Structure 1
Amino acid sequence: MFKTSSSARHHETFYVKKKFPSQSVRAHRSIREGGFFNLRVLGSVLACTAAVGLALTALAYEPAASVPARLATSIVVNTTRQDLAATPEAATLSNLSARSFVQTGDNLMIGGFIVQGPGTKRVIIRAIGPELSQYGVPNAMADPTLELHDGTGALIGRNDNWQTTIIGGIITHDQVQDIQNSGHAPADARESAIIGDLSPGNYTAIVRGVNETTGIALVEVYDIGTDTTSILSNISTRSFVQNGDNVMIGGFIVQGTGTKRVIIRAIGPELSQYGVPTPLADPTLELHDGTGALIGFNNDWQHTVIGGIITHDQVQDIINSGHAPSDALESAIIADLPTGNYTAIVRAVNIEVGTALVEVYDLSGSQ
């Protein structure tokens, strides 16, 4: 998977995202012999010239009548050579999801995320319902619809049944083939999907049932772009939390190398400040790894529960993060997570019900 990006005159950046014995990269334009270019290999930049370039195993030139020779539109990169032992890409959050019981009125499912960085981020957002019944989920929503809103609250895209594109906002052409090509086409025609090239900012995905129907649904955001200059960060989901199978489940993936430092929060009482009716009075928080194992638990953030990845009192760390919950009955966990899949589950203490918010904030670089 490659991308080329033009910069200043006679400059080009070649991106190599995966490591193979030999790779071919195609430039958007030619480069003068002796001109500079950058080779970005697995997140690190190596400066090269068209005349030399340790990164190149083969160079080809095309003659020009009145200008110096130029680098042809293809170069071959050997990513196994010692001189390309670049620092791997830092860990990032990707592929976000949340599952809950979707009702009507104020008790819809609302998923939020941030695109952070200078470039745009290509994503596919899905609202899944009928497919969940294959996995033994009771009361799966029969026909979920999907809305995408930007940071101002404006509706910028919507869908009801992914095989029928609704033109409007950021959706300017039929998306059915793009959805199929993404590898994330929903399994059921009644499920919804939107592909968007999103500028940096805050976004909200809202899942509703057609004709005010209810049921358990899943909202997902997949990063399907090749641009590594922007990332998904600071994810959240708000929904009505009940008991049994109707808890709120938020999923995310840590991708890349190294670890990702995050704070995960379960918010309830604070929501009353924003006019949310029936907020969950006392939410608890569980963190599970990709095997399903419980690796962290909290009930009331000012009281750390030691166990799993939580090895010391976290109260001061939570305060220092700048994301301490405003109510002592809300829950939080700080974790340094290696790459893999993770699930945060919000439940009510005893048999309470109410609206809650689960959030994952990226703390890397802020500590």
Structure 2
Amino acid sequence: MRALAVAGSGALVIGGDFASVGGAAHTRLARVLASGAVDASFSPSINGSVRALAVLPDGRILVGGEFTSVNGTARTHLARLNADGSLDTAFNPAPDGAVYALSARVDGSVVVGGAFGTIAGQSHARLALLKSDGSLDSGLTATANAEVYVLAGLLDGRALAGGAFTALGGASDYLLSRVSGTSSGAYSFSVGSGLTSATWTLSGPAADFSAVALSYSTNGNLWTALGNATPSADGKTWSWSGGTTLPANTNFLLRARALSSAAGGGSSGVTEVYWQFYNTTAAGTVTVGTYTGDSGSGTGGTGGNGSSGGSSNTGAGSVTLTGTRYAGSTNASASGYFSDFSSLLRLKGGEVQFVNFVIGGSASRRVFLRAAGPGLARMGVSDFAPKPKLELYTAAGGLWAAASSPVTDAGTLALANSLGALSLVSTEADAALVTTLAPGSYVIAVWDGAGTGGAVMTELFEADGNTPANLVAYSTRASAAANTGTQTVEFTIKGTAAQSVLVRALGPALTAQGLGGTNADPTLQIQNSTGTTLASNDNWETPVTTNGTAGATAAQLTTVAANVAAAALTAGSKDAAVLLSLNPGSYTATVAGVNSAAGVTELEVFEVPSVTGSNSNGTGSNTTTPANSTGSTGGSGGGGGAPSGWAFGLLALALLARRRRG
């Protein structure tokens, strides 16, 4: 057997060089029912090897290979059969060489790969796009200089091609490439009024899939299966309805996992896509306000609901504000959001690490906190702190909770191990707690209870599970020892859209706050999960171009810092800062002193919420603020951002004294 494709009702169409299946004569092509029985009513005859198969939504079957005849009728290397196995006489592209791979698309077209030089009467070597009638589609111009053995269709209409080629489309491409035509595929989701049905709709030249399963999640971590969707006759709409009711009055993600059949020598592929909803309302672009004013300065809006900011206006005219809506959420930028943070550093024997984080919005959130020491051994870290301790304080300095160590509560263990955190083991002396917090600013204090110091990883995970996280700011302060030393913060952005992020490494700014022993010249670097550096900076007023992307200017950084309520940096200081837009994924921020110099540093990460303005006969600007912030009023309008109360200062000094007393 050389080829396989999934047909309706779970049946399989198989092809190859065989003469019988299940003891019955079937010449190189057969259909096996879901029960495992061979379909005796399906028995086409093909006189050469079958190398590729694709079942179309209407049940017809594309067959490629090394044959010259199908059911006694001349067909060279490519044919289309009706669902009953009879030859579709209207389809005859007649390639002059073998066909090894097929990738069908929902608009009826098909990408063909093989060893041919001409197809559909035209020269088009080894790779071609055919229309549903078998004629050549000139939208795909790429050809290959050697055989194409494997194709995998993509949701946007492009296709991955693999083979023996070293050039494709006139460019050097060794063995693997991606090709596209002149049009693109697309998709959309919808949810029924009773929240008990959903559909996934494909359009254009999107890949044709053989099976689709739907599921939903309220936090992007834990998913509930809804079941398999049923395709329409043309394969463009996949529908689900069942006994499960989708979440009401909260944001949720709907996910489709779509299976494409194996093509040629390849394996089956899985495509996974998401869409955000609040009840039946899908995420998208929405107008959130209009300001019309006369000449002169406009009046700034009031921050506080996360979806309307202030505006300024010069000249007569109007300003219309639009933003990306996360379904029904009040956070206009929530389609990308922080879900977790972790920081790793090596504490001295009597040193305390302080982590400040801010919960925005208007609803309380459950969080998971952990100080990992012994658990780091499983990551290959040998110099870990043997007895990490963790306490959580309010911005006012009140003790909120102290972490257990070791953790024996089954619920806490199960939650930790479901979040993607470093696994929590009851026999290790790591400290952890789960608590629910109202919007506001909080401080985590971490130290080594044994007094010897060592490596500690402090983790913060949103664990509410009902709505996307609203962790809008995070900061960690500790010293970086000479030659060993950096502070490292890893964070994850989830959702389906990019999130603007302000990251700062402070040293001189801490001196200005009256703190001694600070790092005089910290540097900052942001990397993605593959280790690629996305942004870097030494001195905040000097932008650095990284991978062709220019760094933010001092003016931009100053404006954004004011909007998120971050302390202003002094002109001429050697603090570092970057502003960048990050797609969903995992990232690492690292701060270190120039030439590995020691000193206390603070690493800050801020969500930068924003909406965009489009103007008519005037100019304007706006910025959203989280729900627990106070917006500014006046000509510039719309300030706010992360709430104030970065509660290090006296609290830090008091905790240091407390730890040293024992």
TM-score w.r.t. the length of structure 2 is 0.42
Q: Secondary structure at the match of 1:248?
A: strand
How many Å separate the matches in 2 of 1:41 and 1:134? 34
Q: 1:123 aligns with which of 367, 370, 392?
A: 367
Q: Which residue of 2 aligns with 1:110?
A: 354
Q: Which residue of 2 aligns with 1:360?
A: 605
Q: 2:583 matched to 1:338? A: yes
Q: Which residue of 2 aligns with 1:181?
A: 414
Q: Which residue of 2 aligns with 1:155?
A: 399
Report how far residue 138 of structure 1 moved.
4.5
| Higher strand residue share | 1
How many Å separate the matches in 1 of 2:462 and 2:373? 21
Q: Secondary structure at the match of 1:277?
A: coil
Q: 1:189 to 1:265 in 2, by over 3 A?
A: same
Report how far residue 284 of structure 1 moved.
0.3
Report how far residue 213 of structure 1 moved.
2.1
Bigger Cα displacement from structure 2, 182-191 vs 245-254: 182-191
- Percentage identity across aligned positions? 24
Q: 2:409 matched to 1:135? A: no
Q: 2:505 aligns with which of 245, 252, 266?
A: 266
Q: Secondary structure at the match of 1:25?
A: coil
How many Å separate the matches in 1 of 2:376 and 2:457? 8
Q: 1:219 aligns with which of 438, 458, 464?
A: 458
How many Å separate the matches in 2 of 1:332 and 1:357? 12
Report how far residue 232 of structure 1 moved.
1.1
Q: 1:25 aligns with which of 245, 260, 263?
A: 245
Q: Which residue of 2 aligns with 1:231?
A: 470
Report how far residue 104 of structure 1 moved.
4.7
Q: Which residue of 1 aligns with 2:592?
A: 347
Q: 1:39 to 1:202 in 2, by over 3 A?
A: closer
Report how far residue 312 of structure 1 moved.
4.8
Q: Which residue of 2 aligns with 1:30?
A: none
Q: Secondary structure at the match of 2:557?
A: helix
How many Å separate the matches in 1 of 2:547 and 2:570? 25
How many Å separate the matches in 2 of 1:314 and 1:162? 47
Q: 1:299 aligns with which of 538, 548, 552?
A: 538
Report how far residue 337 of structure 1 moved.
0.2
Give deviations 1:20-71, integer Å, cap 9, x for gaps.
45571389xxxxxxxxx857553433469xxxxxxxxxxxxxxxxxxxxxxx
How many Å separate the matches in 2 of 1:100 and 1:121? 27
How many Å separate the matches in 1 of 2:278 and 2:464? 20
Q: Which runs of 5+ in 2 are unaligned?
A: 1-193, 197-215, 230-239, 254-275, 282-326, 418-422, 611-622, 625-662
Q: Which amino acid aligns with 2:588?
A: T
Give deviations 1:67-115, integer Å, cap 9, x for gaps.
xxxxxxxxxxxxxxxxxxx79961101111111111255x421111111
Q: 1:316 aligns with which of 534, 555, 573?
A: 555
* Cα root mean square deviation, aligned: 2.9
Q: How do 1:51-66 and structure 2 match up within 5 A?
A: none
Q: Secondary structure at the match of 2:497?
A: strand
Q: 2:338 aligns with which of 76, 89, 93?
A: 93
Q: Which amino acid aligns with 2:410?
A: Q
Q: Which amino acid aligns with 2:277?
A: S
How many Å separate the matches in 1 of 2:404 and 2:468? 31
How many Å separate the matches in 1 of 2:444 and 2:536? 27
Q: 1:346 to 1:229 in 2, by over 3 A?
A: closer
Q: Secondary structure at the match of 1:258?
A: coil
Q: Which residue of 1 aligns with 2:517?
A: 278
Q: Which residue of 2 aligns with 1:56?
A: none
Q: 1:312 to 1:160 in 2, by over 3 A?
A: closer
How many Å separate the matches in 1 of 2:514 and 2:609? 32
Question: Larger relative contact order (C-alpha < 8 A, sep ≥ 6)?
Answer: 1
Q: 1:138 to 1:163 in 2, by over 3 A?
A: closer
Q: In the alignment, is the contact (CA less than 8 A) between 1:234 and 1:361 conserved in 2?
A: yes
Q: Secondary structure at the match of 1:178?
A: helix
Q: In the alignment, is the contact (CA less than 8 A) between 1:239 and 1:355 conserved in 2?
A: yes
Residues matched between the structures, number: 298
TM-score w.r.t. the length of structure 1 is 0.73
How many Å separate the matches in 2 of 1:211 and 1:287? 33
How many Å separate the matches in 2 of 1:329 and 1:94? 30
How many Å separate the matches in 2 of 1:196 and 1:228? 16
Q: Secondary structure at the match of 2:411?
A: helix
Bigger Cα displacement from structure 2, 340-349 vs 187-196: 187-196
Give deviations 1:215-236, integer Å, cap 9, x for gaps.
1111000111122165111011
How many Å separate the matches in 1 of 2:394 and 2:504? 23
Give deviations 1:249-293, integer Å, cap 9, x for gaps.
011101101100011000011212444330111100010101122
Q: Which amino acid aligns with 1:97?
A: S
